[in-house]
Structure 1
Amino acid sequence: MDITGNTIFIPGATSGIGLALALALQERGNTVIVGGRRVELLEKIAAEHPALDTVRIDTADAGSVQVAAKDVLARHPGLNVLVTMAGVMRVEDWHQPETFLESAESVVTTNVLGPIRLIAAFVEHLRTRPDATIVTVSSGLAFTPLKVTPSYNASKAAIHMLSESLRLQLADTSVSVLELEPPAVQTDLLPGHAENDQAMPLGEFVAEVMGILETRPEATEIQVERVKFLRYGEARGDYDQVVAALNGTDPHPG
């Protein structure tokens, strides 16, 4: 993926990683369209960052995805990059189904069906572009589970395998598939997580991601150094220790 000169749509970019990435990409000379559910946030972003375009979209609603896709392509026919950023994370206790089932269904709808709907809505157009990219967003938790977020872990593992499969299927087209794999980053994905001093500062994360995009155009998985502890535990042979360290059960996590 070239680092500049693109037209990029990022649904789920009204805060956190999505908004920070949108601003970093816009600063590098890209046209960036930010998507989100809440109109008041979109209006605030448009006022504070007039170089960004905005569109309302709810990726949990199939009809909203179709309407937004038509709107984006009508206004930006040169669109060549889709970043499926929208996602939710919920703490769940699976001892009692009545406490987690609704949450689990919501996570899967947003984190799995949302990206599938987005890709389905844009892939035909992207195939007409001479150099196009789909960026999916999984997580270090796709490879090492956090005990308290079962559905989130599973949804991100699904995105990893979806990315791998789409890369194979679209190899005969002009569309590349990149997978962004964040570690824990200081955002509001969970309440209070933006103040978690064990998570990676948002600015550092986005700067490292931009550096990888710029210097490693051949990369198919965008991995900052911090995520490799989770990503490669099984390959290194220390998966059990990584799981224990992540979940606070390893007396010697270092």
Structure 2
Amino acid sequence: MELRNSTVLITGGTSGIGLELVKQLTEQGANILITGRHADALKKTKAMFPKVHTFQSDVGSLQDIQQLYREVSLQFPELNILINNAGLMRLIDLMDHTLSLDDINREIATNLTGTIQMVQQFLPHLLKKKTAAIVNVSSGIAFMAYSAAPVYSAAKAGVRAYTQALRLQLEHTNVKVFEMIPPGVKTNLQNDWAIQPDPRMMMDVDKMVRVAITGLQKDKPELEPAMIKVIKVASRIAPKLLLNMGHKELKKIKEQTKNTQQ
């Protein structure tokens, strides 16, 4: 995939993987458009990267997606790459009855429904381009349900399944479909966690994005570092081991919460 002079729309482009994509794709000579929910974060990103075009938009809102499409297709008809990166990951105890259905649905809408709806909205436009691409960001957790983040686990497994189906349906079109599969990455996604992950098990965000961009340039359908390849193998030969490793984190969180309440 040629990145220089491409016009790329990145959802959730103000922090973490999205912000690093802005940096590295700018270095590749791409024209960058980003979305974000918060105006102040968009302004900060614009200050760092003056050539970036910003749109305040929430992928969890159908109305926002429709409005975003109207604005982007009018202002940037040359758009040819969509990166569905916006994400929300929370540690949730499903026996916490204070969680509302709206609260649960917000995480699903951000991670899964938003991705599907963004593709559905922008696909007719992308099909008109000579070369185009869709990049959906899933997670290593798609291969190993993480009991401490059950909604996120389900959503990312859904993103992976949807991306595979989308790739097959678009196989004879000009739109290439990529899945970016990060392992644990050092971003602000974990800022509110009760227990912080072991930094030794986390990948630097710049290295993850570098892997993704190199894969895009080589037309690799799955943009994944070596750690994900290990997780894929382990999920086939020792699935229970992976599940139990992740479940230990939930036990630690519950124990910490219990001690705090005493």
Asked if Structure 1 and Structure 2 have the same fold, meaning a TM-score greater than 0.5 normalized by the shorter chain, the answer is: yes
Q: State how far apart, in whole Å, the 2-side matches of 1:115 and 1:59 are.
A: 7
Q: Distance in 2 between matches of 1:112 and 1:177?
A: 16
Q: Where does residue 216 of structure 2 map in the other structure?
A: 213
Q: CA deviation at 1:248?
A: 3.9
How many angstroms does 1:113 deviate by?
1.2
For residues 168 and 50 of structure 1, the distance between their equivalents in structure 2, rounded to whole angstroms, comes to 38
Cα distance change of structure 1 residues 5 and 232 upon mapping to structure 2, 3 Å threshold: farther
Aligned to 1:76: 76
**SS, match of residue 9 in structure 2:** strand
AA of the residue aligned to 1:4:
R
TM-score, normalised by the number of residues in structure 2: 0.88
How many Å separate the matches in 1 of 2:192 and 2:110? 21
Separation in 2 of the partners of 1:212 and 1:117?
25
Q: Which runs of 5+ in 2 are unaligned?
A: 250-262
Aligned to 2:230: 229
The aligned residue for residue 202 of structure 2 is 199
Amino acid at match of 1:206: V
Higher mean Cα deviation, 28-37 or 225-234? 225-234
The 1:224–1:100 alpha-carbon spacing in structure 2 relative to 1, beyond 3 Å, is farther
Q: Which residue of 2 aligns with 1:153?
A: 153
- Structure 1 distance, partners of 2:52, 2:153, is 31
**Separation (CA, whole Å) in 2 of partners of 1:48 and 1:87:** 22
Alpha carbons 2:6, 2:31 under 8 Å: kept:
yes
Identical positions, percent: 30
8 Å Cα contact 1:34/1:52 also seen in 2: yes
Contact 2:211–2:223 (Cα < 8 Å) also in 1: no
Deviates further, 155-164 or 3-12:
3-12
The separation in 2 between residues aligned to 1:234 and 1:48, in whole angstroms, is 40
Deviation, 1:239, is: 1.8
* Residues 83-127 of structure 1, C-alpha deviations (whole Å, 9 max, x = no match): 011110111111244436443211111111111111111100000
Distance 2:235 2:186 in 1: 26
Deviations 1:29-67 (A, max 9, x none): 111111111111111211221121111111111111111
Distance in 2 (alpha carbons) for counterparts of 1:56 and 1:9 = 13
Q: After superposition, where does 1:164-175 map in structure 2 within 5 Å?
A: 164-175=164-175
State the distance in 2 between where 1:116 and 1:241 align. Answer: 31
The ranges of structure 1 where at least 4 consecutive aligned residues each deviate by more than 6 angstroms after the TM superposition are: none
Length-normalised TM-score, structure 1: 0.90
Counterpart in 1 of 2:258? none
The aligned amino acid for 2:49 is: H
**In structure 2, the residue corresponding to 1:86 is in which secondary structure?**
coil
CA RMSD after TM alignment: 1.9
Unpaired runs of 5+ residues, structure 1, are 250-254
Deviation larger for 191-200 or 48-57: 191-200
Which deviates more from structure 2 when the two are superposed, residues 186-195 or residues 35-44? 186-195
